Structure 1
Amino acid sequence: MQEATRSSERGQVWAHVGQAFKEQEYDVAVVGAGLLGTAAALYLRGLWPQRRVLLLDEGGLPSEDGATLLGAGVWDAAGLSGAEADLAATTRRELERLLPGGLTPLPLLDFGAQGPEDTAELLADFPALAGWVDPAALPRAERREVLTYRPGELTLRLGQAAVAAGADLLLNTRAELVPGGVRLHRLTVTNRHEIVVHETREVRAGTVIVAAGAAGPELLEQGLGLHTPHGRAFVQRPRLRQPSDPAASPLLRAGDLLLRPLNGEYALYLPPVSADPHGYQPTAGRLTGVQVGLRRELLCSLLPRMDALPVLATAALGVGRSLADVEGAWLGLPHGGPTHAPLAEAVADGVWLLLGGSRTRGGVDTLGLGLVRELVGTLN
């Protein structure tokens, strides 16, 4: 009777250390309140309403550290087949359900593909893009419609729905994996603006889902001694200061480079190309807690593309920005292979690793929600 009552209640939320946290045991602990973690918490409560679920994050909701708030948010299922096509279809249904009116259909121009259209003729339909692409270098193109959305908005809705469905939410808490559960380090800020650990306690959990982005493999190794083939890579999000309309301007893709209208400009999305060299730091150091400085990896990625995409060689190109809009910022992302699709991997009995992946085509935006639903369905 107690379980039935619990399943119909809203979850509790602990946002700061002034709210005493005394819970000792959960059926499932989800580490990371990004897109995949919040989706896991919501789907777990929907499928198993009798189970207690704890969703936790070192920052806020949505997670403030990682790719969720900087993601491209482009659903594009072109070229997918088999299991991936099924995951993409599930993700689209979930996006339409969770974001009614929040999906924007836009044309995507894919250059360099064995497309049905001549690049020069296609560009004639988009005079604002004159001079962006060299038709001699990228002679063929394909035009298709994709859906765009804001991953941060989606994650916030997923988290709120998870709490409404009965999942508990614990913020400003650093997680450490231990056998049989999670050690929680609740964080607070001193009068000198230093982030310190206020208290530490352990919570038992029969299942732990690690959805902490690039930090996930490190948590598994440091806490449980489990090794995965996934490391940390570092990327920047450059901007192209050309005017765009997020409701009308097309997206452009050339190979693994995506240009998406964002905040009146264009954002450039490149996958990680290599793991970060040990000990390498940007020359500019840190600014307001954000790693800044021009990454040589960014230049190595962009320079070979400038002949085919002359717009990248103009003064309109600006080095990447952070969540706080700091020029030159960079962030850590999961890396492996050099790019991989989103994955749900059982790394030990009762321990799962969820990674968004670093693939630009068929990435987390297109497959993520379907993958999480599939994972949750396997838990018994």
Structure 2
Amino acid sequence: MTAPSGSLRGASPRGRVWAHVGQPFTETAYDVVVVGAGRMGAFAARELRRLAPALRLLLVEEGGLPNEEGATLLAPGVWTARDAPPGREAEAAWTRAQLAATLGDVQFRAAPLAELGAGADPHPDARPTGEALADWPEALALLDPVDLPWARVDAGAATFRPGAVALNAAQEAVRLGADLLLNTRACPGEGGRMTLERLSVTNTHEVVVHERRAVQAAQVLLAAGAAGPALAEHALGVHTAHGRAYRQAPRLERPSGADSPTLRAGGLTLRPQAGGWTLVPAIWHRDPQGYVPAGGLLTGVLTGLRRETLEDLVALMDAVPALAGGGLGLGRSLSDVPGAWLALPGGRPDAPPLWQRLDDTHTLLLGGPLADVLGLSVAHDLAATLAGTEGRPWAPAD
């Protein structure tokens, strides 16, 4: 990789962290700037520093500690081989190994996943629901086995904390020499010229731009999640076919145990977490341009669940009667139910993560709905490509 013009000092053994505007930031040039410290951007930064330690790298995050909010924090955190597209099973297995062994405490837990279905049994490995869930009565109590008569159990599935993946990957990147700039909005420009807007909060809780700094980068990775495609369009004039959707994660306060399985029914994922269940509705389509999430109405009462989420849950109440009880967290406004914008690579809810060259300097990195299964491998592939290393660790040897 060609470094930007000007003299660059050698990479430090450990990177620096600028957490607030009281810490002066005077750097003017980097080999790589990564915009966004969610799991995709943070892991790409870690892998770049690991594979090419001579490159000077800056990781920029608009929030505070990496991934204080956003799609990474609200991702399901469920790994299952069932979600791997055909031909990418080895890549998914590599991602699982990274989650299990190399990212610190992400609360990785081998936990079965039960996929429940209606109608005739279409799979040779499916079993009657009552039999398949006999060891987990707390899970079986949520369902109606008549409406969901069969289940397929993936014993090799696992759960983890995606937010901890981002945090630990960012910390490891810093330990390996990457610089980290928090509370800063990155505004890319042509030729790797970038304006960094350092943000502060007034005593009336208004976020304002405290100062602007200019940085030159040889390569820029846009890993800003659902905001990435819009950033490419507005800042660089590059149109992409990617989309976004708004996903909420309401809670179901029904008992779950330390060994409870993850459940899937009708596109809804019920993940055991903190003694209850986190609900992750399916994404059926992209939200239209200009869509503003708003709460819905249930029998005339305002709720924090947007209408699309409500409709999905109401449609499942016969098959999952627990949704009709008092344990479902409806909230009174949208702010009561966690939600975030999610990137849709290619504009499709079933598309895997990807990276895309926008020009000679800028690359877009997107996670999306399948980031739990393939996100880390795609981020590694981009880092290896920029670092000029050959081969993919999940590919069979020639």
Q: Which residue of 1 aligns with 2:59?
A: 55
* Alignment check: 8 A CA contact 2:201 2:207 kept: yes
Q: Normalising to structure 2: TM-score of the pair?
A: 0.84
Count of aligned residue pairs for this structure pair: 365
Q: Give ranges in structure 1 of 5+ residues lacking alignment.
A: 286-291
2:256 equivalent among 229, 237, 244 = 244
Q: Which residue of 2 aligns with 1:198?
A: 210
Whole-Å Cα distance in 2 between the matches of residues 28 and 4 of structure 1?
12
Structure-to-structure mapping, 1:329-348, within 5 angstroms: 329-335=338-344, 336-348=347-359
Q: For 1:6-50, what per-residue CA distance to the aligned partner results, in whole angstroms no more than 9, with x for missing partners? A: 335111111111111111111111000111111011110111111
The answer as to 2:317 corresponding to 1:310 is: no
Q: Normalising to structure 1: TM-score of the pair?
A: 0.88
* Alignment check: 8 A CA contact 1:98 1:154 kept: no
Letter of the aligned partner of 2:221 in structure 1? I
Tell me the SS of whatever aligns to 1:317. coil
Whole-Å Cα distance in 2 between the matches of residues 178 and 4 of structure 1?
21
* Alignment check: 8 A CA contact 1:271 1:339 kept: no
Q: For 1:270-296, what per-residue CA distance to the aligned partner results, in whole angstroms no more than 9, with x for missing partners? A: 2333333455545569xxxxxx93311
Letter of the aligned partner of 1:127 in structure 2? P
Q: Which residue of 1 aligns with 2:382?
A: 375
Letter of the aligned partner of 1:201 in structure 2? R
Percent identical: 49
Q: For 1:173-194, what per-residue CA distance to the aligned partner results, in whole angstroms no more than 9, with x for missing partners? A: 0111111222111111223322
Shift of 1:214: 1.0
Q: Which residue of 1 aligns with 2:247?
A: 235
Change (3 A) 1:159 1:284: same
Change (3 A) 1:339 1:320: farther
Q: Which residue of 2 aligns with 1:186?
A: 198
Q: Which residue of 2 aligns with 1:85?
A: 89
The answer as to 2:20 corresponding to 1:31 is: no
Letter of the aligned partner of 1:332 in structure 2? W
Structure-to-structure mapping, 1:1-380, within 5 angstroms: 6-7=10-11, 9-78=13-82, 80=84, 83-99=87-103, 102-112=107-117, 114=123, 115-145=125-155, 146-181=157-192, 182-245=194-257, 247-277=258-288, 280-281=291-292, 293-319=304-330, 327-335=336-344, 336-358=347-369, 363-379=370-386, 380=388
Tell me the SS of whatever aligns to 1:30. strand
* Alignment check: 8 A CA contact 1:236 1:320 kept: no
* Alignment check: 8 A CA contact 1:238 1:321 kept: no
Q: For 1:71-94, what per-residue CA distance to the aligned partner results, in whole angstroms no more than 9, with x for missing partners? A: 221221136365421221221222
Q: Give ranges in structure 2 of 5+ residues lacking alignment.
A: 1-6, 297-302, 389-398
* Alignment check: 8 A CA contact 1:187 1:199 kept: yes
Letter of the aligned partner of 1:109 in structure 2? A
Letter of the aligned partner of 1:175 in structure 2? A
Whole-Å Cα distance in 1 between the matches of residues 356 and 244 of structure 2?
17
Q: Which residue of 2 aligns with 1:289?
A: none
Change (3 A) 1:278 1:368: closer
Whole-Å Cα distance in 1 between the matches of residues 325 and 271 of structure 2?
18
Whole-Å Cα distance in 1 between the matches of residues 212 and 90 of structure 2?
42
Letter of the aligned partner of 2:77 in structure 1? G
* Alignment check: 8 A CA contact 1:232 1:275 kept: yes
* Alignment check: 8 A CA contact 2:32 2:58 kept: yes
Q: CA RMSD in A?
A: 2.5
